Amino acid sequence: MALTRNKSEQWFKRAEIVLPGGVSSPVRAFGAVGGTPPVIRWAKGTQVIDENGHKYLDFVGSWGPLILGHAHPAVVESIQRASAQGTSYGAPTSIEIKLAEEVVDSYPGIEQVRFVSSGTEAVMSAVRLARGVTGRDIIVKFSGCYHGHSDGLLVAAGSGLTTFGKPSSDGVPEDFTRLTIVLPLDDTEALLKLFKEKGDCIAAVIIEPVPANNGLLLQRPQFLEVLRAQCTKYEVLLIFDEVISGFRLGRGGAAEHYGVIPDLATFGKVIGGGMPVGAFAGPEATMKHLAPAGGVYQAGTLSGNPVAMAAGLTTLSLLKSENGWHALEQLGLYLESTLGPVLAESPMPAKLCRLGSLFWIAWLTNDLPRSAEAINPNVGKTYSPIFHELLAQGVALAPSAYEVGFLSLAHTQQDIDRLGETLATALKKVC
Ligand SMILES: Cc1ncc(COP(=O)(O)O)c(C=O)c1O
């Protein structure tokens, strides 16, 4: 039976009048799956509750930050305590120093960190720093990797592999993306060719070492190793965008997981425990080029905000003291053993892709894709009715076939059983 969402619908009608598309960030609008999103009133643990009072078992986790679950009591308490002492000072604080020490201690190869307020800002600043340090202009990204919405990174591949990119958004001048080259993931040949032709002009290569914004496109470790070696050879800075993978895969993110150490790393999501935080980090020799020590300008009124720092520090401390990454891996294994058989019996081919607490269902294939180009272009149409059937049964996956799911420490095996059963029923019903 369809859920009555009249209150959500009324709110969303009001939203569409005053917010473009009814939302503050595009994917929330359900454009990829159709329909109206539930308007959320509150959340706790694994449950989000909409304006009609319907509860959803949530596997979105605010798109990644909520690794401890919604409204974790220790995080809420740290936010309350910090905010009671003032919400912002525009001056150094002990809490930001403690969080910086924790980040430096956790992630391989970094000595200093600069806090900002979003992943977009972290990446934009890291790219500027790389250009300032190397004195070179070109940056390289991979198709299927998302690095936030700064102009130079909203780029689609050009027509040839080593041609400069084209804007993938209105409002981005072609001149801004001429300095960005887009390569396919998992293509060592294209990578070597580009470095041979242009290696000496490239400031930085940026990659999501665990690409998780266009499906979950797990890379062969050798690909990351070749990339590392080429960057070293041509003195190009390698930037790992760990906005999703940082502090989620483990204390040292994807760098630790693959044993490949970047020159700069960017963070967001988990590092802020659900508050607006981003960061970028590297060795002191690189970071000292940032203002005020160096000539690369970067600043922010609310950077290192004490309330956000408190949420981040509490989240990272709990993950460490409770060995959260081990528990998340156990949950991930359980997810694999639960969803694997469901998908094996699915009337259409589909396969679960998982790394730690990140998961994605690759629809219409028995092979896990490693590049954006390898994903079946019909997945969107296929996923939409499955998504809506799950939502109607109170289970929330992301509203797009290309978005990953997130497990949190609040999830239990019973929650995963429920996802498996609901998915099995939905597949029978809609296929
Ligand atoms: C890998 C990656 N980099 C950067 C960003 C941008 O972060 P934000 O949305 O906080 O600006 C995202 C956001 O999803 C991301 O997944």
For range 163-187, the mean pLDDT: 90
Omega before 292 cis (within 30°)?
Answer: yes
Asked which of 1-15, 142-156, 253-267, 312-326 is least confident by mean pLDDT, the reply is 1-15
- Residues 369, 405, single domain; the answer is yes
- Residues 190, 316, single domain; the answer is yes
- Residues 137, 167, single domain; the answer is yes
Beta-strand pair 55-58/395-396: parallel
- Residues 314, 339, single domain; the answer is no
In a domain, 33, yes or no: yes
For range 363-388, the mean pLDDT: 94
- Residues 96, 208, single domain; the answer is yes
User: Which of 271, 296, 142, 121 is closest to 204 using CA atoms?
Assistant: 142
Tell me: the pLDDT tens digits for 71-86?
A: 999 999 999 999 999 9
Q: How many folded domains does the chain comprise?
A: 2
- Residues 297, 344, single domain; the answer is no
pLDDT at 4: 86
Name the residue range of residue 295's domain. 73-321
- Residues 341, 193, single domain; the answer is no
Is 139 a pocket residue for ligand 1 (Cβ < 6 Å)?
Answer: no
Rounded to the nearest integer, the mean pLDDT of the chain is 96
Active-site residue 383, yes or no? no
- Residues 244, 386, single domain; the answer is no
In a domain, 1, yes or no: no
pLDDT at 387: 98
In a domain, 118, yes or no: yes
- Residues 289, 142, single domain; the answer is yes
If DSSP codes are grouped into helix, strand and coil, which group holds residue 97?
helix
206 phi and psi angles, rounded to 5 deg: -115, 135
Active-site residue 241, yes or no? yes
Retrieve residue 364's tokens.
């219409």
For residue 160, pLDDT beyond 90: no
- Residues 298, 199, single domain; the answer is yes
pLDDT band at 158 (very low <50, low <70, confident <90, very high): low
Retrieve residue 174's tokens.
């072609």
- Residues 284, 375, single domain; the answer is no
Among 321, 337, 357, the domain boundary falls at 321
Asked which of 130-144, 165-179, 278-292, 386-400 is least confident by mean pLDDT, the reply is 165-179
Omega before 347 cis (within 30°)?
Answer: no
pLDDT at 162: 54
Tell me: the pLDDT tens digits for 296-305?
A: 999 999 999 9
For residue 2, pLDDT beyond 70: no
Beta-strand pair 350-355/278-282: unpaired
For range 253-267, the mean pLDDT: 98
Q: What is the CATH number for 47?
A: 3.90.1150.10
User: Ligand 1: which of 27, 120, 277, 400 to mutate, judged by most atoms within 8 Å of the beta carbon?
Assistant: 120
Is 248 a pocket residue for ligand 1 (Cβ < 6 Å)?
Answer: no
Count of residues making up the chain: 431
pLDDT at 163: 61
Tell me: the pLDDT tens digits for 195-242?
A: 999 999 999 999 999 999 999 999 999 999 999 999 999 999 999 999
User: Ligand 1: which of 28, 185, 213 to mutate, judged by most atoms within 8 Å of the beta carbon?
Assistant: 213
- Residues 29, 170, single domain; the answer is no
Active-site residue 381, yes or no? no
User: DSSP of 317-377, one letter per residue?
Assistant: HHHHHTTHHHHHHHHHHHHHHHHHHHHHT-SS-EEEEEETTEEEEEET-SS--SSGGGS-T
Among 270, 298, 321, the domain boundary falls at 321
If DSSP codes are grouped into helix, strand and coil, which group holds residue 145?
coil
